[in-house]
Amino acid sequence: MSERQITFEVLRYNPETDDKPWVQTYAVPCQEEWVVLDAINYIKDHLDTSLSYRWSCHMAVCGSCGMMVNGEPTLSCKAFLRDYKGNTIRVEPLTHFPIERDLVVVLDDFMEKLTSVKPYIIPKKEKPVEEGEYKQTPRQLKNYKQYTMCINCMLCYAACPQYGLNDEFIGPAALALTHRYNLDSRDGGRSQRQEVVAQHEGVWECSFVGACSEVCPKDVDPAGAIQQMKIASTVDWYLEHLMPWRGK
Amino acid sequence: MSRKPYVREVPKATWYMRNGRYLRYMAREVTCIFLALYMAGLTIGLVRLMQGPDKWETYLAGVSSTPAVIFHLIAFGFACYHAKSWFDVTPKAMRIPQGNDFVPGRIIVGTHYGIWGGVSLVALVLMGVL
Ligand code: SF4
Ligand code: FES
């Protein structure tokens, strides 16, 4: 197996001793089949035990290893070194989020936004278990399936310039998840979620740059979800003003 | 252990310089300025038409001048770019169910081009160009 020497420039920040982040370089002997996360693990195991970062599954499922790799929001466990030319790779914590320590970012804001959109099924009518399961056709499943693939990796927030400029924006993943539940035939909670979706910091803060969908490792297409919700919210508005008798 | 999160500020005026994706977005948005200028020119034309034949002739001479022709060519180029960049993303906003799947994106984009071409053709026929 061939070995390749790569210099990793890693952004470091220790809240106890540093006033601002700084760059530390590590020379890592990399194996051909490695991903960026393997190199970072090598640094942790062999070069510098003080480096902090998050990871768990090493297979693009848990969503915890998101980092900026050469300036691009990336799952470091999915970033194969063979796809990077050159001998230097820069690794930084996800942009647009405060840095907790080294490559670890503060998740609080994202967590709050996720809960604000009620990302769970709110049944139209509660029915007792004896009445059996809620059935769905393949068509009904297809309508929302794509938006269930989200792994909450937050790459889309790091890619979104609007979130970077205004962190009040609910943001791509939370809105895509809202769409997921709104589209579910078993769900009746859309009007509850609309309070968050239809406000200015909801879908209307999005100017359709589309960067979120380009970086999403799961092809969730949050940008598409948001545009579809803009259309639905606009239809709501017209119905409400032109046909007030229709009621809610 | 104390927490002291570090916030990296986004440059407010130059944020779109950070990567190519943002620049492409800005190009899509900025090209509409040329569309607006073209529309303003067209509106002036309508006003001149209402003001009588003399004013209309002066207007026609104005838009036939070399600088005006150059402006129109540039505006047309930008209008095409603007339209293409929007047409390309229409499938994201329009998910049309078809069987157990959705109508493929290229059909949606193609339909937009088709309508654009059709309307342009009608306009050219009405203007007596074709
Ligand atoms: S929408 Fe995509 S990029 Fe955003 S959190 Fe979910 S999986 Fe990650
Ligand atoms: S380690 Fe789980 S997604 Fe990368």
B3 vs A15, A207, A224: nearest CB? A15
Nearest CA in chain B to A100: B5
What pTM was computed for the model? 0.92
Query: Domain holding A39: CATH number?
Result: 3.10.20.30
Q: What is the arithmetic mean of pLDDT over B92-101?
A: 93
State the Cα torsion B114-B119-B123-B126 to the nearest 10°: 100
Question: Closest by alpha carbon to B10, among A237, A165, A134?
Answer: A165
CATH class of B15-89: mainly alpha
pLDDT in tens, A196-240: 998 889 999 999 999 999 999 999 999 999 999 999 999 988 998
Nearest-CA residue for ligand 1 atom 8 is A153
Which domain-ending residue is among A70, A105, A140?
Answer: A105
Q: What is the arithmetic mean of pLDDT over B119-130?
A: 93
Nearest-CA residue for ligand 1 atom 6 is A150
Is there a single domain that holds both residue A66 and residue A136? no
- Asked if the Cβ–Cβ distance from B5 to A99 is below 8 Å, we say yes
**Domain extent listing, chain B:** 15-89
Task: State the amino acid at position B25 in one-letter form.
Answer: Y
B40 burial class (0-12, 13-18, 19+ CB within 10 angstroms)?
Answer: exposed
User: Which of A97, A185, A209, A230 to mutate: most B Cβ within 10 Å?
Assistant: A209
Is there a single domain that holds both residue A175 and residue A225? yes
The answer, yes or no, to whether residue A1 has pLDDT greater than 70, is no
The answer, yes or no, to whether residue B63 has pLDDT greater than 70, is yes
State how many domains chain A has: 2
Which domain-ending residue is among A105, A127, A149?
Answer: A105
- pLDDT value at position B1? 62
Is there a single domain that holds both residue A101 and residue A119? no
Query: Domain holding A119: CATH number?
Result: 1.10.1060.10
Atom of ligand 2 nearest to the CA of A217: 3
Contacts of B9 (CB under 8 A, 6+ apart): none
Is ipTM strictly over 0.95? no
- Asked if the Cβ–Cβ distance from B5 to A231 is below 8 Å, we say no
Sign of CA dihedral A105, A108, A114, A120: positive
Is there a single domain that holds both residue A122 and residue A95? no
pLDDT in tens, A4-33: 999 999 999 999 999 999 999 999 999 999
Is there a single domain that holds both residue A100 and residue A112? no
Atom of ligand 1 nearest to the CA of A212: 3
Percent of chain A with pLDDT over 90: 89
Q: What is the arithmetic mean of pLDDT over A79-90?
A: 96
Which domain-ending residue is among A58, A78, A105?
Answer: A105
Full residue range of the structural domain in which residue A60 is found: 3-105
The answer, yes or no, to whether residue A243 has pLDDT greater than 90, is no
Sign of CA dihedral B103, B106, B109, B115: negative
B89 vs A18, A210, A230: nearest CB? A210
Q: Edge-to-edge strands of the sheet including A66-69?
A: A22-31, A3-12, A88-92, A66-69, A72-75
Q: Chain B residues with CB inside 8 Å of A165's CB? A: 10, 12, 15
- pLDDT value at position A125? 86
Is there a single domain that holds both residue A141 and residue A232? yes
Strands A88-92 and A3-12: parallel
The answer, yes or no, to whether residue A246 has pLDDT greater than 60, is yes
Is there a single domain that holds both residue A213 and residue A113? yes
Confidence of residue A247 (pLDDT cuts 50, 70, 90): low
Residues lining ligand 2, judged by CB closer than 6 Å? A 55-58, 60-65, 75, 77
